[in-house]
Copies of this chain bind each other. A is one copy, B any other.
Amino acid sequence: MENKNTTILVVEDDENLGKMLSDYLKVKGFEVILKRDGEAGLKGFIESEVDLCLLDVMMPKKDGFTLAKEIRGLKSSVPVIFLSAKTMEEDLKMGFQSGADDYITKPFSMEVLMLRIEAIMRRINQIEDNLLHKKEFDINEYKFYPEKQLIIRGDFEKKLTSKENELLRLLCMYMGNVVDRNDALNMVWGDDNYFNSRSMDVYITKLRKIFKEDENIQIINSHGKGFKLLVD
């Protein structure tokens, strides 16, 4: 089953606090990956599909800010919450500017933590919501109008069927990122059974044909995972 779970990477050198955070978040239904220092943290990030990072600022081997920068290098959209001592608060405020970031000063209550996490998740959901209702997407030289079920490049115009349309909309929403096969099936076909899956493959072929003139547009398969729309 494709985990649409929210996975949180927790990097905290204090063993007690780390365990406590991990347990609490697991109870709340999150997948948790717990690491004790910056280096292990980076490995943890690479190995899993992390949705959100909870990073201690002061840690051995590699501090939280540095780790955050490295993570951003790998996937720029991952939101990060920093954990730090109260005494460093002023310092912290200037330490990051990315809109996805947030911070909490120790000591903190689990409720406060949950508020921050929920706030971030909502921010992300809102972004996705906007994408869902976006009027037009740019796919290199093509314009895609989901509401009109239409693709245009110069004189070229192509009406899309509803399945083509919804599938392409999804790919555009996650442009550059892999859309999970089962997620796509559930969203477009309403069921992720075998036959719909094959049907989707047929539609991927159709979409590829539409864009075959343009070498810079590719729909790439990620074996066993799904597809991504890539524009060079």
Contacts and interface: CB of A to CB of B under 8 A. Distances in A.
Contacts of A66: 4, 121, 125
B118 A88 contact: yes
B125 A65 contact: yes
A224 B39 CA distance: 20
A57 interface: yes
B186 A3 contact: no
B70 A38 contact: no
Contact of A223 (B5, B88, B162): B162
Contact of A73 (B39, B62, B76, B187): B187
A29 B61 contact: yes
Contact of A115 (B63, B91, B122, B149): B91
Interface in A139-179: 147-149, 161-163, 176
Contacts of A69: 125, 128-129, 132
A20 interface: no
Contact of A29 (B58, B149, B224): B58
A6 interface: yes
A149 B228 CA distance: 12
Q: How many copies of this chain does one complex carry?
A: 2
Contact of A132 (B4, B62, B73, B223): B73
Interface in A190-228: 190-191, 218, 220, 222-225
Nearest to A183: B70
A43 interface: yes
B176 A147 contact: yes
Interface of A: 1, 3-6, 13, 28-29, 38-39, 42-43, 46-47, 57-63, 65-66, 69-70, 72-74, 76, 87-88, 91, 95, 111, 114-115, 118-119, 121-122, 125, 128-129, 132-133, 147-149, 161-163, 176, 186-187, 190-191, 218, 220, 222-225, 230, 232
Given A29-B60, A162-B225, 4 more contacts: A1-B39, A43-B191, A148-B220, A162-B223
